Structure 1
């Protein structure tokens, strides 16, 4: 097998578009191993709410960067980048093809681009975390908007961790937060071929509703309750703020009823999908495939680009 044959293939796109199914098919076709690029699938025990493939559903394909964090740990893009890059290069060293699959935007970019992360300072971060505790996330996000409107537009107004991080980077570098990110039109690391699953709202929205209904029917509440009782999941942790988990935790505490929790999981997912579409559409390196196509047609179209 030539070096060209080992060029990684990335599969990106919005939640519920069918990335996992396509990645399994590609791994079979191209003798690949899969590298997860979904930040919440890094967590052990967060299975139903992240639509993580079961061992049986992985069809014997090795998967990497799944179940590597406890729910009490903070997911870190920098840590992920270091470990996932090592996984990709180890897969290629074995003579197999890496298949990178997921929709976590910063994680995707950290893996396929040579992203040098900006500095951090615990004192500066602690000051902004104290400010967050004092005035709340909405007001702190407004302060971010006042100094870097572009960053505020890309960071959810209810995302305290990224809001604090953006303010920290701006203070330490004296530059806009987005200036620390690499351009998205540079050659991808390893020459990675990037496939995107393109969806319409009319096609995807019913899939999101069905997926959410299935999550709750398959024991999502029980999964979260177990993570709380035995593994220390909490609402203020990175894992506890994941879409779906945050809503179930709110229902468990009495802040929402269960119907509201399910409905807000749907609306939260749709909001996240809009961000994913906006982010990935900016990347001219992505070759878009129609997510609604049959699997055989998707593979045929993918092969035209990969080969």
Structure 2
């Protein structure tokens, strides 16, 4: 069921209590297509839960749907940040919570779509974030900038070995946050993590995945297409908008590799290959994270009846349980 130009849906197929649907899982599995199909069928509005798709102008490298591809379905949390701004889980949680509750108030179905792991858990588990201190954060960020990832990883191993073992040694921003939390709370970083329970609003959580070999092929094709469509030109334009000054945007997969190519660290082919490898590594991390969540109903992205399978799960879940209060 499509929206008309006013954003109103003509009907929903049933009168069951409204509950959000989250479509999560690894990159390049087909989440966006399923989200659109669910929104059309159920009378939904889409809430993006991909951290880098929040950035204006970061379109090709994030595989962001163009306005035409959105099929007149309202989309939220796309293009809400400049590349000079820092994307934070806390900001997203507050803004996306408001979006979900406004969509429910309109009588529509929120369809939360994306694969940013901590964003998903923050939204669905009402993560209460530890305090932050600009001076403490600045100290660790200065170490990261001046001494590099290895120094930050060593500091984290000393302060919190468990966190150092679970956070990727290439994820400088998360290591900085872990060090800040440990210093401020005196507790291990894991103590501040959310606990998986009943998902907020009674959300039905669908996971989309594919066989590893097939997914690797899709990542390779997507990476090639990004470079063919002008990822390098996009990065050049974003440099003019302040990409190099941003804390999070410039580190996004694809953008970091193209920046290094522009700076002469390696050639275009190497930038493409490193983007592919970085994406594939991120997919493995996403899969490991999401597979630990017992609330997720897993679907095969290659299933020609994917929408029907998803609708069956939604129907079965909505009729068998009562959504908790939001």
Instruction: Say whether the fold is shared (TM-score over 0.5).
Output: yes
Alignment correspondent of 1:285: 295
Alignment correspondent of 2:3: none
Match for 2:176 among 164, 178, 184? 164
Q: Does 1:195 align with 2:211?
A: no
1:91-240 to 2 correspondences below 5 Å = 91-184=103-196, 186-229=197-240, 231-234=241-244, 237-240=247-250
**Deviations 1:158-187 (CA, angstroms, capped at 9, x unpaired):** 222211110010111111112111112x00
Moved more, 11-20 or 234-243: 234-243
Alignment correspondent of 1:306: 314
Alignment correspondent of 1:36: 48
**Deviations 1:3-32 (CA, angstroms, capped at 9, x unpaired):** 844200000000100000000000011100
Shift of 1:123: 2.0
**Deviations 1:134-166 (CA, angstroms, capped at 9, x unpaired):** 532112112212332332233221222211110
Match for 2:95 among 56, 59, 83? 83
Alignment correspondent of 1:241: 251
Matched position secondary structure for 1:11: strand
Moved more, 96-105 or 158-167: 158-167
Match for 2:266 among 253, 256, 264? 256
Matched position secondary structure for 2:72: coil
CA contact (8 A) 1:235 1:249 kept: no
TM-aligned CA distance change 1:133 to 1:159, over 3 Å: same
Matched position secondary structure for 2:243: coil
Give the TM-score, by structure 2 length.
0.90
Q: Does 1:270 align with 2:308?
A: no
Shift of 1:256: 1.4
Structure 1 stretches of 4+ with a deviation exceeding 3 A read: 1-5
* Consecutive unaligned residues in structure 2, runs of 5 or more: 1-11, 316-326
Shift of 1:306: 0.7
Moved more, 20-29 or 171-180: 171-180
Alignment correspondent of 2:59: 47
Looking at structure 1, the residues matched to 291 and 174 of structure 2 have their Cα atoms a distance apart, in angstroms, of 22
Task: State the number of aligned residues.
Answer: 303
Considering only aligned residues, what root-mean-square deviation do their CA atoms show, in Å? 1.5
* Consecutive unaligned residues in structure 1, runs of 5 or more: none
